[in-house]
Structure formats: C-alpha cells, structure tokens
Structure 1
Amino acid sequence: MEKKQGGSLKRELKTNQLTMIAMGCAIGTGLFLGSGLAISTAGPSVLLSYALGAFIVLLLMGCLAEMTVAYPTSGSFGTIAEKYISPMAGFLVRYSYWIANVLAVGVEVSAIAVYMKYWFPTIPGVVWIVLFAAILIYVNVTSVNTFASFEYWFSMIKISAIVLFVLLGAYVLLGADSPSKGFSNYVNDGGFMPFGVWGLWVAVFISLFSFLGTEMIAVTAGEARDPDVAVPKALKATVFRLSTFYVLTIGIMLLIVPWQSAGIEVSPFVKVMEILNIPGASGVMNFIILTAALSAMNSQLYASTRMVFALAQQKQAPSWFNQVNKKGVPSRAVAVSTLGVILAALVKVLSPDTSYAFMMGISMFGAIFTWFMIFVSHLYFRRNWDKRGGRQLPVRMIGFPYLTILGGLLLAALMISTWFTTSFKIVLQFGVPWLIFLCIAFMVMNWTKNSPPTDTKNKRVS
C-alpha cells in the first residue's frame, strides 16, 4: 500500500549511521580500483594528489555542514541552491546529482559481476547484476533503518579490512629484505613526480572520485534524529577518517608495490596480498572488494532516490515519485534510480576495455558540478542568512568568503583540465550537453506551467 502523495520521510538516523553511510558510499571502487589509475597517472606524487583532494573536500564539508544544519531536508543542497540562487540552479543541481549517482550505481554493479567471476567463472555476469541489484533494491524499499543497518555493517567490513591492510603492510615492510620494497619506491624510475605537476593535478580529479559520497550526510539529514548535533559530527568524522585511510593505505601500497605496476586491470590491494603469499588472501580481498562495491552501490542508490523524491516534492519531477510506502520509503523513486544498472551493463558489453574510465568520467561531471554549486550556494546563503538575522548556527565555515571561493575555483580548474586529457575528455563532452538539455527542459517546464489553459468548452460556432 502506498501513502498519499507528499508523504514524509522518518527521522531515524543516528550520528554513527550517518558517518557510516557517507563512508560506505565513498569507500568503493574509487579506492580499491581507482587508486591504481591515479597512481599510474601521477606516480608517487599521487600522495599529494589525494592530500589536495582531501583539502578540497574539507572545504566543501565546511560549507555543507553550515547549510545543512540550517536546512536539514532530503533535498539538501538542491533546496539551498533553489532558495538562495534561483529555481533553475536548484533544478540543475538536483538532476546533476541524481544522474551522477545513477551512473555510479551502474559502475559499482558492473564491477560486482567481474568480482563474482573469481568464484563462478562460468556463470554469465548479467546473472549477478540482476541478482545483486534486486537484493539492494529490496533493502532500499523496506525501511531507512534496514538500509542504514546494512550500510553500517558493509562499512564496518571495509574499514576493518583497510585497518588490517595497514597492519599487514607494516608487517611486510618491517620484515622485508627485498630491494623492491621501501622508501626507495618513492623516488625510483623518474623520481617522486615522474609525470610532473600535470600528472599530479590530473590525479587530483581521479582522487575526488574516491571522495564522492561524503556529501551523502547532507542528503540523509532529512532523516537524522538531531541534525544540529549529528550532521557536523558526522561530516568531521567522515573527512578525517577518509583522508587518513586514503593517504595511509596508498602510501603503504607504494612502499610495497612499485608504482609502475599500478593499473585498473587488478586492484593494487590484491597485488599486495599476492606479495604476502598467504593462502586464500586473494579470495578474502576479492570478497572485501565485492563488499565495497555493494556498499557504495547501496548508498548511491539511496542518494539518487532521495534526490528524485525532492524533485517531485518541488514539482520538478512527476508527482508519481512523490509518494512513500507504508515504511516511509519513496519506493517509486527507487525504481527509476536503477536506470544506471541497465546503462552500465550496455557500456560494459559495448566497450569492456574503457568502460571504467568512461563511466567514471560521465558520473563525475554531475558530482563535480554539484560540489561547485555547493560553494556558490554557500556564498549566497551566508550573505542572506546574516542579512535576515538567522539563528546562531552551531557550525560556521571558517575563512569565509576566501576559502569558499578557493574551493570553487579549484573545482572549476579541475573540470576545465579534463578537456586536455584523453581519458577524461568525456567529462565535458557529456556534461556541457547535459546542462544545455536541463536548461531547455526547465524553461519548457516553466512555460507549460505558466501557460493559461485553453477553454474550448464555452466556445460557440458563429
């Protein structure tokens, strides 16, 4: 049974659940597989790339924390962009964030089919795509607590695995007599920065894919028990933990595996496990990577669902999606947000060798555009909030407006830079037409809404 249109979401999520949801969304193939692409792009200087990426995300979270505490809704940054910039800005942000997560769901579910081949090489990948998609759709339509519980334990497995990886890596380094291990890997074969500043800079863009999902806390704020306390705590904890995990794990990885061996054919994490030569270690790591993909897919499906729900509430999507089931979950929005599964399966069949970079590129446009608009929204928000005498918020962005502007400029520069890289030219090739399409769709929608209805009933024939 469905509730009537305009049903409300339940406020059930705690601080630790918010943190785990965001970390679960962020720790996916971006770390376990995408880190290999970043390493092969920047060499050992990828450590600086991830540090700079973490700095940008830290600025982003500062802006987002302040605005989310003021407006803890499921529409989140889309609602804020609409309120403080313009209705079109909110429309562009919501749909761009939605498409980013829909496509990211497709990336993760395609990876799941590859991982399952390790154990079941003869079963077609499409079987696993359908099976795992069905399981996670069920999880997302039952209740927000079911979703949060699944995500909590998914995230716990991944975080525990990363901690174990760090400990095992330290063990390998302390007991290593091989010349291929150690700090010499940071400077061998081209030095610390073998591809120069450009390689370091491009790898920042790749690193941001690993941080995609941290903004999930703002999306889940509409279902948080105490947003004023839970949101700032969860945002700080998420950024700190992710930054530490990424830089530490990649740093140890480079000490063990020469950077030239990195790539996206096999996870660098699996290569480290092979060096350990522990029976079954590669199978255990394959299970962990599978869990990472499931977790990220679970969170991204949640995010895209809530954005469709918010669009329907604002009458910018069909009202059919503005309904929740008896569990308080927008089940129809869940259904439409699974389109990425179909698209990713098609891309995997048509272009198996370049599908990962391609899907990452088109999904990243929506994410980076959304992040950029969060910085822009914060400039408008702070000016209007102070002018109108808004309540004293428990969290404020430091260094305003300079750090807000810096974050926006860095993201804009990274976006423009993708045009000059072969692998990521698709970002703007997809993104610019997408924005043009949305602008036209918004104008047509407004024109239709504002057009006076034609009354033919009372017309008479002369």
Structure 2
Amino acid sequence: MQTRHMVMLALGGVIGTGLFLSSGYSINQAGPLGALLAYMIGALVMYLVMSCLGELAVQVPETGSFSVYAARYLGPGTGYTVAWLYWLTWAVAIGSEFIGAGSLMRKWFPDVPVGVWCAVFAAAIFIINSISARTFAETEFWLSIIKVATVIVFLIVGAGILMGFSHYQAPGLSNFTREGLFPTGSWSMVMTLLLVLFAFSGSELVAVAAGEAKNPQQDLKKAIRMTIVRLSIFFIGTVLVLAMLIPREQAGVDQSPFVMVFDMAGIPYAGDIVNFVIITAMLSAANSGLYAASRMLWTLGDQGFIARRYARLTRKGIPLNAVIVSMIGSFASLASSIYAPNTVYLALLSISGLAAVLVWMSIAAAQMMFRREYVRNGGRVEDLGYRVRCYPLIPIAALLVCAASLVGVGFDPEQRISLYIGIPFVGWCYLVHWWKQRRQARRG
C-alpha cells in the first residue's frame, strides 16, 4: 500500500452514514452550537489518539497494529481482548452495511428483495478482499474518492448558498442564537459528544495496514498527519455549514441534511445523488471492515491465541481463512438483526459501541508504556520517527476524555446497556485468555 491508499482507507472508515445522515440529527438534538462544539472536541480527541498511534505505528509497524501494541506493552490478555473487541465491532458493522445498502437500492429497484442485494454486495466485497492487498487498497481508494468529492462539493455549494448565490435565504450565524446557545440544554451536547466520538472511530484503520505498507515509516507518518487534518476539516466544516443553513427543528428529521442543502441550491436529482453516495459509503465501510476484521483474526492466529490456520497467507499475502470467518461472522450478525433484534443483536451493538472507546484507551496507554520502555532501554526521544508532543499530557488527556465518555454513557438510559453488556464481555475475554494460558502451561 502507498500513502494515498492508507489515507483513503482511514477516510473511508470514518466518512460514512455518520456524516451523511447523523450530522443533521446531532444538530437537532444538541442545537447548532452544541453540535459544532461536540464535533470540535471529537476532532481534538481523534488528534490525541492518532498522535499516540502514530508514534507506535511508525516505530513498530505491524499488521494488526494496536492489538499487537496492547499485547506487547499492556499484557497478552489486553491484546487478546482488544483484538476480539475490534473484530466484533467490524463484524457487526459489515452486516449492518450490507442490509443498509440493500435497503437503499430499493429506491431504484423496488421489486428486488433486500437479501439479493446483500448477497451481491457480500460476494463483491469478499472477492476484493481475497485477491490481494493492492486490489483491496485500490478499490477502497476509489470508493473513498466518491465520498470525499461529495463532501468537498457540499462545502462549496453550502458556502455559495451562504454568500447569496441561491434563492434560499440561509439563517447564517443567527441560527446559533435564534433559540439560545443551548436550546435543548447543555447536557444534550455531552450526549451528542458520545455519538461523535464513535463517529470518528475508524481513523485508526490507517495503522492496521502498517505491516502491508510499501514504506511503513514514511507512508505512515504522512498518512496519519493527512488523515487528522482532512477529517477535522471535513467533519467540522460540514457541521458548521449545516448549522448555518438548516434550522435546528428541521435538521435530521425526515431526510439527509446533504439532500436538503443540494435541494436549496436547486441541484436536480439531489435525492438520487445522495442515495448513491450513501450506498457507496456503506460498501466502503464494509470493504474496510472486512479488511480490518480479517487482520485482527490473523493477529490472534499469529500470536497463538487462536488456531494457527488463521495466520496462513496465500501467495498474494492474504489471510484467506481469516477473511472467510470474518465474512461468516458478519452474516451471523446480519441474521441476528433480523431474527433476534432485541436480544443477540442488541448485545452485539452494545459491545461494538463500547469497543471503539476502549480501543482508543488501549492505544493511549500502550504509547505511554512504549515511551517508558524505549527511554529505559537507552533510546533517545529525538530519534523517534514520529513522536507525541507534550508527552505525557497528550496520552493522559486522551485517556481522561475517553474515560469521561464512558462515565457519560452511564447517565444516558438509552446507551447505558452498552456498559451492562460490554464490561462483562471484556471480563469474559480476559477470563478465556487466562484459561487458555493456564491450559498451555499444563501441556508444556
């Protein structure tokens, strides 16, 4: 993979339905100012975590990335748990993306069952991930280009409307004060922040591919910096434009805010355009998700945590067994969303929602332990290819904000279940790892 592939892999993993659909909902729930502040804080937290990941990934480029770092610097049990959390997150997401894309296809093909589209999309994504890492990266690059281009066009169109190049009279800055600074209460901004942090998850994908980069040190350094800047501009810029164009009570209620803005500008077929882009976003997320999930299984097999057959590679360097099992896991998740939505699927969603924050916390903690060990062994901080500035303030800040978001989850009745189910699952992973280690010790 080259730098452009790695940047688009990260952008593709983050820019999706959370931006095209949920950004309007955030404004509706927290108000224009509350949503903007939440996304600014989310971008800051992403910078903190990605800085920590950058130091680790550039110095020790590994396929599997943060699960390897967690195992090495925080303990094998933590590495085992992080890998399973991340695998499950993407397994759940892949199934959701297939059924979501299939449902949107009914806009154009109402007589074709959603299941048919799920099968078609799954077959395409599986083939792309089974050929070679280059094929995957090139496909993801072009899928992500569509999304990035749409965001750029949206920002240009939105700016044009605000400058008066449209018959629509935009509220502008007055939208921030029309109902007061926090019309739904300041606590709603905190609740929105939790969703925003989850929306930024996926940026860490840039490091999952570290072991398959053409020039890991140089490519990763560029990719991480470019990812941080571009995601911050895209997300904050989009929310700022939406906050000045759409009244809070209309945002995120009936349709995508992107459709609303394109309609304001008089762009024909706005609904069809955005529908196509959202389908592309979902397939891109599924493509990235299958890649990430399979590499997590490969890491578990390579470290001996699960059967070694999952660490076997094809001639093109693809962990095909891991790809197959990850795809099967995604279909199991999809089936549970249909046949057990209030039990099994709810539990899977709860765990995957919590996993994003726990993975970010493991990255910050692993960076602190790595730096301590690096210096203790005689390494000079100045020699690091990518180093965290203001150490240890940045990793500590990342840990505190992520921990605070978990505390906030406990105060939200709708999200509290993620703690009730997610924390026991984490404990179960540690217990299984301990049991496996003990059994291996007895055999040895």
Give the TM-score band, short-chain normalised: over 0.9
Q: Does structure 1 retain, via aligned residues, the 8 Å contact 2:50–2:224?
A: yes
How far off its partner does 1:355 sit?
A: 12
Deviations 1:205-263 (A, max 9, x none): 21122211111111100001111111111011001101100111111122222122233
2:420 to 413, 429, 436: 429
CA distance in 2, matches of 1:348, 1:452: 43
Cα distance in 2 between the residues matched to 1:114 and 1:452: 51
Give the alignment partner of residue 381 of structure 1, picking from 367, 370, 378: 370
Contact 1:85–1:377 under 8 Å retained in 2:
yes
**Distance in structure 1 (CA, Å) of the matches to 2:353 and 2:203:** 14
Give the CA deviation at 1:433.
1.7
Instruction: Tell whether 2:180 aligns with 1:187.
Output: no
| Post-superposition CA distance 1:238-296 (Å, at most 9, x none) | 01101100111111122222122233763221222333343212101110111111111
Paired residues for 1:68-83 under 5 Å: 68-83=57-72
Are the counterparts in 1 of residues 210 and 216 from structure 2 also a CA contact under 8 Å? yes
**Aligned mates of 1:451, 1:264 — CA distance in 2:** 59
Aligned to 1:368: 357
1:451 partner SS = helix
Match status 1:303 vs 2:297 = no
One-letter code aligned to 2:177: V
* Corresponding residue to 1:212 among 201, 205, 229: 201
- Do the aligned partners of residues 277 and 40 (structure 1) sit closer, same or farther apart at CA in structure 2, a change above 3 Å counting? same
User: Which of 23, 26, 29 pairs up with 1:41?
Assistant: 29
Partner Cα distance (1:84, 1:259) in 2 = 46
Q: Which residue of 1 aligns with 2:73?
A: 84
Deviation, structure 1 residue 89: 1.3
What are the residue-to-residue correspondences of 1:71-150 with 2, within 5 Å? 71-150=60-139
Say if 2:315 is the partner of 1:326: yes
2: distance between equivalents of 1:430 and 1:267?
31
Instruction: Name the SS of the counterpart of 1:75 in structure 2.
Output: coil
Report if the CA contact (8 A) 1:357-1:424 is conserved. no
- 2-structure distance, mates of 1:331, 1:114: 29
Instruction: Indicate the residue corresponding to 2:387 in structure 1.
Output: 396
Cα distance in 2, alignment partners of residues 69 and 248 from structure 1: 29
Partner residue in 2 for 1:16: 4
Contact 1:344 1:359 in 2 (8 A): no
Q: 1:139 Cα deviation (Å)?
A: 0.3
Question: CA deviation digits over 1:54-113, x for unaligned, max 9?
Answer: 101101111111111121011211111111121111111111111112222223222212
**Cα distance change of structure 1 residues 389 and 404 upon mapping to structure 2, 3 Å threshold:** same
Residue 235 of structure 2 is matched in structure 1 by: 246
Following the alignment from structure 1 to structure 2, what is the Cα–Cα distance between the partners of residues 205 and 58? Answer: 16
Deviation at 1:409, TM superposition (A): 0.8
- Per-residue deviation at 1:429? 2.4
Query: What corresponds to 1:284 in structure 2?
Result: 273
1:10 counterpart residue number: none
SS in 2 for 1:337: helix
Bigger share in helix: 2
Q: 1:423 and 1:210, CA in 2 relative to 1: closer, same or farther beyond 3 A?
A: same
Match of 2:337 in 1: 347
- Partner of 1:195, secondary structure, is coil
Q: Provide structure 1 residue ranges, at least 5 long, that are not aligned to the other structure.
A: 1-12, 454-462
Give distance in 2, aligned partners of 1:356 and 1:194.
34
Moved more, 73-82 or 151-160: 73-82
Contact 2:336 2:345 in 1 (8 A): no
**3-state SS, counterpart of residue 193 of structure 1:** coil
User: Alpha-carbon deviation of 1:372?
Assistant: 0.6
Structure 2: gaps spanning 5 or more residues: none
Name the counterpart of 2:190: 201
Q: What letter matches 1:340 in structure 2? A: S
Whether the aligned pair in 2 keeps the contact of 1:53 and 1:204 (CA below 8 Å) is yes
Q: Secondary structure, in 3 states, of the residue corresponding to 2:111?
A: coil
Q: Which amino acid aligns with 2:7?
A: T
Per the alignment, residue 161 of structure 2 pairs with: 172
The Cα of 1:324 is off from its aligned counterpart by: 1.4
Output one character per residue of 1:308-341: Cα deviation in whole Å (capped at 9) or x when no partner. Answer: 1011000111212111122210111111112124
Distance change >3 Å, CA 357–CA 161, structure 1 → 2: farther
* Distance across 2 between alignment mates of 1:207 and 1:66: 24
Q: Which residue of 2 aligns with 1:417?
A: 408
232, 237, 247: which is aligned to 2:226? 237
CA contact (8 A) 2:143 2:281 kept: yes
The farther-off stretch of 144-153 and 438-447 is 438-447
Partner Cα separation in structure 1 for residue 341 and residue 3 of structure 2: 41
Using the alignment, how far apart are the partners of 2:23 and 2:344 within structure 1?
A: 16
For 1:335 and 1:208, the matched residues in 2 are separated by 30
SS in 1 for 2:209: helix
TM-score normalised by L of structure 2: 0.93
Contact 2:314 2:320 (C-alpha < 8 Å) held by counterparts: yes
Counterpart contact for 2:56–2:370, Cα < 8 Å:
yes
Match of 1:3 in 2: none
Tell me the distance in 1 between the aligned counterparts of 2:412 and 2:373. Answer: 39
Q: CA RMSD in A?
A: 2.2
Q: Kindly indicate whether the alpha-carbon contact (under 8 Å) linking 1:34 and 1:264 is maintained by their aligned counterparts in 2.
A: no
Question: What's the TM-score once normalised by structure 1's chain length?
Answer: 0.90
The reply to whether residue 157 of structure 1 matches residue 146 of structure 2 is yes
For the residue of structure 2 that corresponds to 1:38, the secondary structure is: helix
